[in-house]
Every structure is written in structure tokens, then in C-alpha cells.
Structure 1
């Protein structure tokens, strides 16, 4: 518990935690409203209220990724990882405390972001809004919450694996912003890129159409996508732990 308290204190006092979580919420809500407005006049065959509501997370997630990377990798850049490991020599204990603190903050931010996206998205949709109790909506909302927490933990694992913020951001931001989303639109590459972590998880958020609709072209369903994303996250966290155990600070 003392290790967790220490990691929670670090996160609360980091400058990055003052703006990256807030930016996640603002981007999630603001972009959802704009996408909702743009979808008001969509033809029925192209209309999906869940896409309009949660597509904003594709950009909002970047701020949350930066938060997770800085929370883990920042200690390597500042050199504070040395006194940290001296105070908590059991590296597994330190790692679990760090991840618990990151996950707790990510979960709180996820709740606020998903709520903001829902309210703003439905406001943007106007008369075409949907109800929170409509068929399939509760599951999509739950998937959105899981998606953001998993992407934050995935980023934390990559930062620990690469032992620093700069290297981790150099990998993650192109992957999430340019790589999987950009290449995912190329039909020839889609069969491979659909299994990348963010692309797999986004299937549950209707980024690629309604999973029950005829235009859905993924090789797995919504919760299959979340499961693939969870496997990526577990692999990143395991890799980070191995690196932490085998390499000195």
C-alpha cells in the first residue's frame, strides 16, 4: 500500500497529469459534438449513432497515451527511477504499484471522457440521438471505457519496455495516429492492421460500421476486438516487467 501511495503521489504532482487527462476529456467531448453535427444529415445506410458518439476517442486517446508514457517513462528521463528502486527494491512490487496508479487515473479519466463524449455526441446528433438504454448501447459504452483503460496500460507497458518517454512516444504516436489508422484504410493492408491494438479495440466502438450491419469487414466481433487488444496490453506489460527485472536503472 505504501508503494501505491508513493506512485499515486508522483502522478498527482506531475505537471503532465494537469493537462493530459483534461485534454482527453475536452477532446473526447468537443470532437464528439462536431462529429454528431456532421452525422445529422447522413443517409440512413451510413448513419451510426455510436460511431458519431465515440469516434472522438481516436484522437482523445492520444492525450491519455502521453499521460501513461510520462507517468512511467518520465522517471527514466529525470533519473528518479534510481531512488525509487532503492526505496522499493522488489521490482515486481514497484511495477504493480505504478500500474495500479496509472490504471486508477486512466479509469477515472475514461469515465469522464466517455460521459463527455456521450452527452456531447447526443447533443450534436440532435433529433437523431439515441437512448442510453437502446439495444447494444450499454455494451458499446462499456467497451469504450475498457478501450481507454487498456490503451493507457498498453502505453505504460511500452514505456517500461523501452525505458523512457521519448522512445515510447516515438513508437506509439505514429502507430496510433498515422500507422494503424492511416494504413488501416488501405484495403491490401487491412487484413494485417486490423489486428493492431487500437484497431482491434476500436471495432467495439463502431469505428468501422455497425458490427451487425452488412458493411462490417473485420475478421472478429466487438468483444473479440477487445480481447485482442487485451492480449496486446498483457504482452506489453509482461515485456516491461522482464525489462525492469533484467536491466539496471
Structure 2
């Protein structure tokens, strides 16, 4: 009894090999960036500083809400809200990790090693973004959980909350912090400068939303509503004003995409 063998379709094996090669290159690039980002002490210290500031801030806000409530003031609020109020400022520690992810390599010259190890400029930027976004999701979620526990303990009955409120705060913070970190990473890739990136970050995320309404121009006030800081606030609090969570997510994604676009153009067309 004879047996027949089916020959592989022409081009199938090379295509499979090519796909595996691309997957391996992407996996190696992401692993490379993960090792670099987690292998420096500054990342650990910044995350630790953000955690301590969050715990301290939420304890203070929770204790203040309890004291005010016991004195007859209407200060009761869900404990997750106290946590996200604190994280809106302590997130700077996490965003600094995004700043140093590029600027530190330019300052010490290791960016040349990075671009030799991973020749594709877009792959370098995306790999850094994936690692940074994943780290931001984990850190943001953990900070909300820890902050909520601290605020709840300090506020007692003035900080009661539901599981849905906690879940929304965790998800909103994780997503907003990830997208904001990616935006900052793109700015860092474009500017190279640590000081310049930090200044730009503070202006865009914090200063402009307070400065634009001063001019009394309606279009400037409207523009301020679409800054990343405002969108992040809507996303973590599920506020309806000035728009809903879906629009806030789109605004943050737009800023993240714009940051990556500018960063890619700088990496692609500017000499190292």
C-alpha cells in the first residue's frame, strides 16, 4: 500500500518563518526595554516615592474629611475619590519614569546601543510604549487600591464606597496614567532634554488648564477642556462635564498618539 505525501504550499514555510522572526524581534525589543527600565534604581525610587506620597496624601484627605464631617460639614465622599485626587498629583513620580526612559539614554549615550540592538526606530518607540503602559497600568491600579484603603481607614463612615466606584476609579486611573505616560514618552523622544520634557509635561498637564481661562476667550476655555489633564480627570471620576468617559478616552488616546507621532518623526529623521 503506497502512501502519498502532500507537499507544502509554495511560499508557506518562508512566510511562517518570517512571521516567527517578526514576533521574535518584537518580543526581544520589549524584553530589552523591560530590562532597561526595571534595571535602574531611579525607577524603583520613583515608584516608591509615588506610593508613599499617595498613602500620605490619602490619609491626610481622609482624616480631614472625617474631622470636618464630625464638625457638621458635608465632606463625605467615596474613598476612591480621595485616592484619585491624590494620584492626580503623585502621578508625576510615575511620569518621570517615562521622561527618563528616553532622556537618560541620550544623556549617557546609551541610545546608540539601543538603536544598534533594535535598528527599527518605530520598534524602539513602540517597545518602550508597551513596557511603560503596562507598568503604568499596574502601578496606577495598585496606587488606587492602596490609597482607597488608607482613605477609607482615615475617613471611617465619611468615606464609604461601593465596589463599582472602586472599580471605575481603578480602571480610569490605570488607563489614563498609561496613555499620559505614552504621551510624555513621545515628548521625551522628540526633545531629548530631561528639563525640557519635564517643563513641557507640567505646562500641558497642569498649567495650561489654569492659565487659558484667564484670557477670557471662549475658544481658549473650550480648548482647555480637551487637554490631557482634564480628560484624565473625567475618566477617573466618571464625570459628565465637560463630556463623558468615552470622549475623555478618545482625547487621551489622541494626545498619546500625537506624542508618539512627534517622537517617531524625531527618531526617524533626526541624527542621533
TM-score (norm 1): 0.85
Residue aligning to 1:114:
144
SS in 2 for 1:225: helix
53-62 vs 220-229, which moves further: 220-229
Q: Is the 8 A contact 1:20 1:67 kept in 2?
A: yes
Matched residues, number? 238
The verdict on how the C-alpha distance between 1:144 and 1:60 changes in structure 2, with shifts beyond 3 A counting, is same
Correspondence for 1:125: 155
What 5-or-longer segments of structure 2 have no aligned partner? 1-26
Q: Between Structure 1 and Structure 2, whose CA radius of gyration is higher?
A: 2
Aligned to 1:227: 250
Match of 1:195 among 215, 226, 229: 226
Report the counterpart of residue 266 of structure 2 in structure 1. 243
Once the two structures are TM-superposed, the CA of residue 124 in structure 1 deviates from its matched residue by 2.3
Instruction: Show the counterpart of 1:148.
Output: 177
Question: Contact between 1:24 and 1:109, CA under 8 Å: does it hold in 2?
Answer: no
RMSD of aligned residue pairs (Cα, Å): 2.3
- Give CA-to-partner distance per residue, 1:170-208, whole Å, 9 cap, x none: 21124334443x4378594643322110111112333xx
Distance between the aligned counterparts of 1:143 and 1:185, measured in 2? 26
Q: Deviations over 1:45-78 (max 9, x none)?
A: x643243231001211111111110012211111
Alpha-carbon contact 2:144-2:169 (below 8 Å) kept: no
Aligned residue in 2 for 1:26: 52
125-134 or 22-31: which moved more?
Answer: 125-134
CA separation in 2, counterparts of 1:187 and 1:204?
27
Structure with the bigger RCO (C-alpha within 8 Å, sep 6+) is: 1
In structure 2, C-alpha distance between the alignment counterparts of 1:56 and 1:228, rounded to whole Å: 22
**Cα–Cα, structure 1 residues 173 and 246, in superposed 2: closer, same or farther, change >3 Å?**
same
Deviation (angstroms), 1:165: 2.1
Which structure 1 residue ranges, 5 or more long, are not aligned? 213-217
Is this contact kept in 2: 1:156–1:237, CA < 8 A?
yes
The whole-number CA distance in structure 1 between the counterparts of 2:138 and 2:128 is: 16
- Name the structure 2 match of 1:15: 41
Deviations 1:182-235 (A, max 9, x none): 4378594643322110111112333xxx736xxxxx320234223211211111
Number of the residue aligned with 1:172:
201
> Of the candidates 208, 211, 216, which is equivalent to residue 183 of structure 1?
211
Using the alignment, how far apart are the partners of 1:34 and 1:90 within structure 2?
47
Deviates more, 1:143-152 or 1:104-113: 104-113
Q: Deviations over 1:75-122 (max 9, x none)?
A: 111111112112221112222222222222222222221111111121
Does the 8 Å CA contact 1:203/1:225 hold for their aligned counterparts?
Answer: yes
**Post-superposition, which runs of at least 4 consecutive aligned residues in structure 1 deviate over 6 A?**
none
